[in-house]
Amino acid sequence: MMEHHVELDNITKFYDAQERLHALHEVSFDIDHGEFVSIVGPSGCGKSTLLKIIAGLDTPSSGEVRLQGGLVHGPHSKISMVFQAFGLFPWRTVLENVEYGLEMRKSPKKERVEISEQYLEMMGLGGCEHMYPKQLSGGMRQRVGIARALAVDPEVVLMDEAFSAIDEVTGDVLREEVSEIHKELGKTFVLVTHNLSEALELSDKVVVLSSRPAKVKKIFSVDLERPRDRTHSSFIHMHKDILHLLKEELENTIIRHKLKGINELQKLHDIEGAGA
């Protein structure tokens, strides 16, 4: 049996020690080598928390994350990340930002400049090395973020809403490029997003989480030819199915909250009734 690249095994997460704020409930799924997986779910369901747990930025209350069979606890040198608000250091130039990861790994200056320039070139940022992040547009900043994540040669690239702070057209172009990079470098990508088209466009697999506490609702395999065509009937169908699932989740939550509210009201009435 082929070993999975990343395995999530019964991840449960409470935000508080009293176990009242239940974020994730027994989330399990596997990610294969070189697979592009997207995690979608109703907003606030804890998908970013799940990504943070994979990244080692947060610890699960129970369950474990394994990378190639080995337990992941804390940040891992083979796991890198692209951030929603880009996470660039404004006081560092573009080149210095990309160098950061290599610098933390104590690689010699000459080598890290060489590698960083290579990735900047790849992200179409040749010539911008000595600019500061404030001089760049949002899309260009995220290119720097991606170059920085790739420069440390990770096996797994995590993307936390990586395109959501970028305008649509710029995002489209960047998504296409990320898709290319995924194909060329053969690294494993995990993307958290609330944008279903984005998930379907990029992923081999879309994991749909339920509302809080989040469980795996369904996993869709996206066997569509790349580059993906958003107007293709299968694409549209799958989009519809996931959307339907998510809406159902959302409605369930609303009904649950309403029921809870009615219950509370009923209790109040009962108390009043008993008092009278």
Partner 1 sequence: MSVEKQKVLPLSLTSRVLTPSKLVNYLWLLPLVVGFAAWEMITRFHLVPHSSLPTFSGVLVVFFSSIQDPAFLLRIAHSFLTLICGLVLAFSFALPMGFVAGSKNRFDLTLTPLVMLVGALPDLSFLPLLVLWLGPGSAAAVIMASVAAFFPIYFTVREGTKNIPRELFHVTTIFGSNRISTFTKMVLPAISPYMFSGLRLAYDFDWEIIIAIEIATSVAGIGSFIQGTVSGGALESGFAAILAIGLVAVVVDRVFFGTLESWSRKWA
Residues that bind partner 1 (CB under 8 A): 52, 55-57, 75, 77, 79-81, 83-85, 87, 89-92, 100-101, 104-105, 132-134, 152
Extract the runs of DSSP E, i.e. beta strands, from the chain.
Answer: 6-14, 22-31, 36-40, 62-67, 70-71, 79-82, 156-160, 188-192, 205-209, 216-221
Nearer to partner 1, 57 or 250 (CB): 57
Question: At its nearest, how many Å lie between partner 1 and the CB of residue 110?
Answer: 19
For residue 157, the tally of other CB atoms under 10 A from its CB is 24
Host H or E run for residue 98: helix 94-104
Question: At its nearest, how many Å lie between partner 1 and the CB of residue 57?
Answer: 6
Nearer to partner 1, 5 or 76 (CB): 76
Q: What are phi and psi of 64, to 5 degrees?
A: -145, 160
Question: At its nearest, how many Å lie between partner 1 and the CB of residue 101?
Answer: 4
Cα–Cα dist 143/124, whole Å: 8
Enumerate long-range contacts of 101-106, CB under 8 Å, 24 or more apart: 101/148, 101/149, 101/151, 101/152, 102/151, 102/152, 105/77, 105/152
Nearer to partner 1, 42 or 133 (CB): 133
20: helix, strand or coil:
coil
Nearer to partner 1, 35 or 96 (CB): 96
Nearer to partner 1, 98 or 208 (CB): 98
Torsion region of 125: left, alpha or beta (phi above 0 gives left; psi -120 to 50 gives alpha): alpha
Nearer to partner 1, 15 or 235 (CB): 15
Nearer to partner 1, 48 or 203 (CB): 48
Quick check: 82 and 158 in contact, CB under 8 A? Answer: yes
Quick check: 201 and 230 in contact, CB under 8 A? Answer: yes
Question: At its nearest, how many Å lie between partner 1 and the CB of residue 223?
Answer: 32
Question: At its nearest, how many Å lie between partner 1 and the CB of residue 85?
Answer: 5
Question: At its nearest, how many Å lie between partner 1 and the CB of residue 88?
Answer: 8
Question: At its nearest, how many Å lie between partner 1 and the CB of residue 90?
Answer: 5
